[in-house]
Chains A and B, each alone.
Chain A
Amino acid sequence: MHVVIVGNGVAGFTAALRLRELDPACRITMISGESTYPYSRPALMYVFMGHMRYQETKPFEDRVWAEQRIELVRAWVTRIDTEGKRLELHEGQPLSYDKLLLATGSQPSLYGWPGQDLPGVQGLYSLMDLHALYQNVQGAKHAVIVGGGLIGIELAEMLHSQGVHVTFLVREDAYWSNVLPAEESAMVTRLIREAGIDLRLSSELAEIHAGPDGRAAAVTTKAGERIECQLVGLTAGVSPNTQLCQGTPIEAGRGILVDAHLQTKVPDVYAAGDCAEIVTEGEGKNLLQQVWYTGKLQGECVAKTLAGQATRYDAGLWYNSAKFLDLEYQTYGLVHAQPQAVETHGWWEHASGRLGLRVVAMDGAVTGFNAMGLRLRHRTCERWILERRSPGYVLEHLAEAGFDPEFTRRYEPEVVATLAAQLGVEATV
């Protein structure tokens, strides 16, 4: 059996390694036009800032791929022939497959802004984007970043570290307000501004203007303000790469449509990671998960199916983490940005404005945590939520979930008292 994986991101390489573990005999080929070896996408920013070299971002030594008999092909796939089970490459001979895994990832979303295709305008997702950033930053003094999510703040931090002044346009009236509750959002907003980044809320991009050299030279906002700049970062989310499905029977919606086994409707064609849109029967919205760990989980899951052990994808309890400049953020379970009527929220914030903890409860059970500047133990939070522990229990045992380094100042008594009052429970530590 020859399994071909298109894309060497986390979903692709996880699937390849796990498949090799499960099936020592099959032939595995992994194709990427982006990089010769897999690297860690979230580390792109550290290469630009000089924290690491490119080679340090590779999660595995180069020799691993040969040892695991995973053939790496550096090429772009230009067409999938699902009838003949063949891939056409932009260079080199076509490649036949028995089973095909599409792990093509995504790309920065564009919303038809005038000027979005000008030189000097870019997103930040791939090595191609990083490469473009090295070109675009040359001589840049002022950059405008559009879109207030996680990539936006990363790009802002990268440019800021190089002394480029950054104006950060966020459409909503609070930073990342579709995910962060108001208090967390306000904390991040404050720290971004303290760092000297010009964060503008309720500001929407209207148009990007070209200068005499044809490169982006200014933007105007919907409020009519013109901002001169030499670089425009478009970071309003990412969209799945579904291009390869065009002209094939592989169906694509927002992403490549797959069932719970991550299988498309075309036999022997699968999709996993950022690019996959999982159709959930009778549960309303399809599942489009575009973070690192879901790519990893989907890669592991699809590897089992590819190896003949049909496995349904189980996303497990949601969690995530990020870092906004110097502020770490972790979330476990369900924390709605807008507290729901059936939920009770408890929020503690340290006087410094750099530490915060949110505990969400519903029907007498804790359902979510947000930690700002604090580290929580993933497995403990997860267990409490799955075991439907009461807010009182969780607060009394809160110290068990602490994951900060030894000697870190602890605030449990204050945190517990504050949260217990807001959650309306008795708890003493």
Chain B
Amino acid sequence: MSRPLPIAYAFDEEAAGFGAPQGTPGAPSAGAPLAWVALVAVALGVLSFAAQLAGAPHAGTWLGLLSGLPLAFAASAVYFWLGLQGTTPGIKHDGIFFGSMTARGTLAWFAGLGLTAFYVVLYWLPGAGAIANMQAGEGAPAQAKLWLLRWTSALFERAIGSLDPLALALSGKDADRWFLYGTLYTLAVLAFGVRMLMKYRHVRYQIVRTLSVMFFQLGFGFLIPQVLKAFRYPEYYFTYFWPLKYDYLFPSSVTGLWNTPGGVGVFMVVWGLVATFVATPVLTYFFGKRWYCSWVCGCGGLAETLGDPYRQLSSKSTRAWKVERWLIHSVLVFIVVTTAAVWLTRGTHSPLAAGLQKWYGFLIGAAFSGVIGVGFYPLMGSRVWCRFGCPMAAVLGVFQRCFSRFRITTNGGQCMSCGNCSTYCEMGIDVRAYAEKGENVVRASCVGCGVCAAVCPRGVLKLENGPTHADRFAGAENPVQTFLASLTQGPKVP
């Protein structure tokens, strides 16, 4: 006979939660001794870079360059590799929700503030020349502000200058702030890509996909545009298209490229048009939006590497989903209207078009995609921009939802609703809600990263390109029919 039920139990799991088990001897350290050597090398790289910011004489030399950021990132990659090597191939999420950095603790706030500050400086710090000419106004606050600007600018210029040898070698020009950004970005994708490769070494989809984003960032997101500059061609990014890279279809860019001697510019214009209007629908039909968002795109590349430790922070609430749909499609409308206005008013100096262009650039291009998109990684998860703001993701999403062979298949009745899939969905999709009903997941926002399938302990999820687009809705809602029905019958009551 069973024991009496524990009526004395009065723990409030909602208010108190569970948190980290206390007082245990601590998880066994998996680090090899060599991992410590790697950590020391990371510290040396950071020190060397900091010394250059402080004006050390090796700044601006190859020695200075290599001993700085590249060393720190390369050593980080080695550290990740060695640290994870001692573990068995499998899911590595122990303590994710106990860690200060991965569970919105103090470290995460510092990291978020640091990243945000970097983006603010990157986008809006006036150039060194402009700052040198500034005059302090009356009073202590104005003087303090100018002092802060000068101090930040000095550090920033030294950081940029430390990369001069590399910029000269690649493009024949001195580094600028965007070269600094590109270098940091690429180093982060590569170093955290190595971490991803090791963390998910038991899932070949993750290995191939991670190698893909590393390849596209290094080649198409960094090296090729610089080398193009060396040959006096426009600095063109072949993996960014309108409407994400919105100015590529603005009249100024199009005419500028079109008039570039040698046919390269014409090729770039045609490439951009084909990518936006042909490749996007066709590739999305066959593979879903993942062909771009989690295999090629630089924003996706950073989210899938540097952002991986934060993927669990995305909100899965229905409210967030509603906000997502309104926001992302509004941004799409915004850029379509802006682009149309710029074209229709070209040559007329229309203040409306100029205003739209300026405000889109400020609000969406800089504040949303950069400051919030990456700056808030440690607080809101790694795909804030991709989920709520990216107009390219919006377009890809419409195709994926309505006309694509891609779906995530769920495996019959095997789901036991544990919630790992939803927790680790960086796009905030409640994957479990589909899995526990045995329905296919057909969602506009899914970037096809495949992590839900990787973390599922019961083998319930599989990303697939099916034989047709129509068979995806077996047992689920067909979005087109649902939409048409809602026009005549009103919205569906849950």
Contacts and interface: CB of A to CB of B under 8 A. Distances in A.
A283 B212 CA distance: 58
A252 B420 CA distance: 36
B208 interface: yes
B423 to A, nearest CB: 5
Interface string B336-356: 000000000000000000000
Contacts of B204: 405, 407-409
Contact of B93 (A10, A51, A106): A51
Q: Which 9 pairs between the two chains have the least Cβ-Cβ distance?
A: A378-B412, A326-B90, A375-B459, A138-B23, A43-B418, A407-B204, A50-B95, A292-B416, A76-B7
B327 interface: no
Interface in B1-48: 1-7, 9, 11-14, 17-18, 20-28
Contacts of B463: 405-406
Interface stretch (B51-59, B179-187, B270-278, B450-458): B450-458
A24 to B, nearest CB: 10
A56 B419 contact: yes
B417 interface: yes
Interface stretch (A29-37, A170-178, A302-310): A29-37
Contact of A48 (B1, B18, B25): B18
B453 A42 contact: no
Interface centre among A50, A106, A194, A321 (most CB of B within 10 A): A50
B5 A326 contact: no
Contact of A40 (B6, B419, B462): B419
B360 interface: no
A319 interface: yes
B13 A35 contact: yes
Contacts of B26: 162-163
B24 A293 contact: no
A407 B208 contact: yes
Q: Range of interface residues on chain A?
A: 35 or more
A130 B317 contact: no
A125 to B, nearest CB: 11
A163 B422 contact: no
Contacts of A55: 17
B414 A319 contact: yes
Interface in B460-491: 462-464
Interface in A139-172: 139-141, 161-164
B411 interface: yes
A27 B18 CA distance: 33
Contacts of A322: 458
A358 B412 CA distance: 20
Contacts of A138: 21-24
A141 B23 CA distance: 10
Contacts of B207: 407
B413 interface: yes
A52 interface: yes
A421 interface: no
B89 interface: yes
B142 interface: no
Nearest to A60: B433
Contacts of B494: 67
Contacts of B95: 49-50, 161
A76 B457 contact: no
B17 A56 contact: no
A328 to B, nearest CB: 5
Contacts of B17: 53-55
Contacts of A107: 2-3
Contacts of B423: 51-52, 56
A52 B97 contact: yes
A376 B458 CA distance: 10
A179 interface: no
29 contacts: A33-B9, A35-B13, A40-B419, A42-B416, A43-B418, A48-B21, A50-B94, A51-B96, A52-B419, A63-B318, A67-B494, A90-B7, A110-B3, A131-B9, A131-B18, A137-B21, A137-B23, A140-B23, A141-B25, A161-B27, A162-B21, A194-B88, A243-B3, A243-B4, A243-B5, A292-B417, A371-B459, A405-B450, A407-B204
A198 to B, nearest CB: 14
B405 interface: no
Interface in A294-348: 296, 319, 321-323, 325-326, 328, 330
Interface stretch (A201-209, A234-242, A361-369): A234-242
B418 A57 contact: yes
Contacts of B88: 194-195, 325-326
Interface centre among B95, B98, B411, B464 (most CB of A within 10 A): B411
Given A405-B204, A405-B205, A378 B7 contact: no
Q: Range of interface residues on chain B?
A: 35 or more
B418 A46 contact: yes
A49 B94 CA distance: 5
Interface of A: 10, 33-37, 40, 42-43, 46-59, 61, 63, 67, 76, 78, 90, 104, 106-107, 110, 127-128, 130-131, 133-134, 137-141, 161-164, 194-196, 239-244, 292-293, 296, 319, 321-323, 325-326, 328, 330, 371, 375-379, 382, 403-409
A106 B2 CA distance: 9
A140 B21 CA distance: 11
A76 B5 CA distance: 8
Given A319-B413, A330-B459, A378-B411, A405 B454 contact: yes
Interface in B383-438: 409, 411-414, 416-420, 422-423, 432-433, 436
A31 to B, nearest CB: 12
B420 A51 contact: yes
B355 to A, nearest CB: 41
Nearest to B95: A50
Contact of B411 (A61, A195, A375, A408): A375
B367 interface: no
A408 B20 CA distance: 35
A296 B412 CA distance: 13
A292 B318 CA distance: 26
Contact of A127 (B11, B98, B99, B412): B11
B223 interface: no
Nearest to B12: A36
Interface in B189-223: 202-205, 207-208
Given A51-B94, A405-B203, A405-B453, A36 B13 contact: yes
Contacts of B202: 326
Contacts of A382: 412
Contact of A293 (B12, B99, B413): B413
